[in-house]
Amino acid sequence: MPIQCSSCAERQAVLRRPKTGHSICKSCFFLAFEEEIHQTIVSARLFNRGETVGIGASGGKDSTVLAHVLKVLNERHDYGLKLLLISVDEGITGYRDDSLETVKRNQQQYDLPLIILSYQQLYGWTMDAIVKQVGLKNNCTFCGVFRRQALDRGAVMLKVDKICTGHNADDVAETVLMNVLRGDVARLRRCTVISTSIDGEEAIPRCKPLKYAYEKEIVLYAYFNKLDYFSTECVYSPNAYRGHARTYLKNLEAVRPSAIMDVIHSGENLDVKEGVKMPVQRTCSRCGYISSQTLCKSCVLLEGLNRGLPKLGIGKHHRLHNKILAQQPIIHQKEKLKTVEF
Ligand code: SF4
Ligand code: ZN
**CATH (domain of 158):** 3.40.50.620
- The predicted structure's pLDDT at residue 325: 60
* Ramachandran area for residue 280 (φ above 0: left; ψ -120 to 50: alpha; else beta): beta
- The model carries a pTM of 0.88
Ligand 1 contacts CB of residue 144 (under 6 A)? yes
| Amino acid 304: pLDDT | 87
**Structurally, how many domains does the chain consist of?**
1
Q: What is the pLDDT along the chain (342 residues), one digit of tens a residue?
A: 789 999 999 999 999 998 889 999 999 999 999 999 999 999 999 999 999 999 999 999 999 999 999 999 999 999 999 999 999 999 999 888 889 999 999 999 999 999 999 999 999 999 999 999 988 888 888 999 999 899 988 888 889 999 999 999 999 999 999 999 888 888 888 888 888 865 556 678 999 999 999 999 999 999 999 999 998 888 888 766 788 899 999 999 999 989 999 999 999 998 777 776 667 778 888 888 888 888 888 998 998 898 888 777 776 545 566 666 666 555 444 444 433 332
Instruction: Find all residues with CB under 8 Å of 299, minimum gap 6, and list them.
Output: 284, 286, 287, 289, 329, 333
Closest listed ligand to the CA of 60: 1
Whether 243 is in the pocket of ligand 1, judged by its Cβ within 6 Å, is no
Q: What is the pLDDT of residue 156?
A: 87
Q: Classify residue 195: in a domain, yes or no.
A: yes
Q: Is residue 11 part of a domain?
A: no
Burial 22-45, CB ≥16 within 10 A → b, else e: ebbbbebbbebbbebbbebbeebe
pLDDT at 199: 53
| C-alpha angle 210-212-40 in degrees, rounded to nearest 5 | 75
Nearest to 152 by CA among 14, 326, 15, 283: 283
Nearest Cα residue to atom 1 of ligand 1: 143
State how far the Cα of 238 lies from the Cα of 178, in Å rounded to an integer. Answer: 15
Within a domain: residue 74?
yes
Is 112 inside any structural domain? yes
Residue 6 maps to a domain: no
Counting ligands in written order, which one lies closest to the CA of residue 297?
2
211, part of any domain: yes
Q: Ligand 1: which of 90, 230, 297, 298 to mutate, most ligand atoms within 8 Å of CB?
A: 90
Is residue 162 a contact partner of residue 51, using CB atoms and an 8 Å limit?
yes
Contact 178, 220 (CB under 8 A): no
Q: Give the ligand with the smallest distance to the CA of 153.
A: 2
Residue span of the structural domain in which 70 resides: 44-230+237-268
| Spacing, Cα 95 to ligand 1 middle (Å) | 10
| Nearest CA residue ID for atom 8, ligand 1 | 140
Domain-located, residue 119: yes
Q: Are 126 and 120 in contact (CB under 8 A)?
A: yes
The ligand 1 atom at the shortest distance from the C-alpha of residue 237 is 5
- CA distances (Å), origin 46, targets 3, 50, 196, 206: 37, 13, 10, 9
In a domain, 13, yes or no: no
End-to-end, the C-alpha distance of the chain in Å comes to 57
Give the annotated binding-site residues for ATP: 56-58, 62, 88, 166, 171
CB atoms within 10 A of CB 250: 15
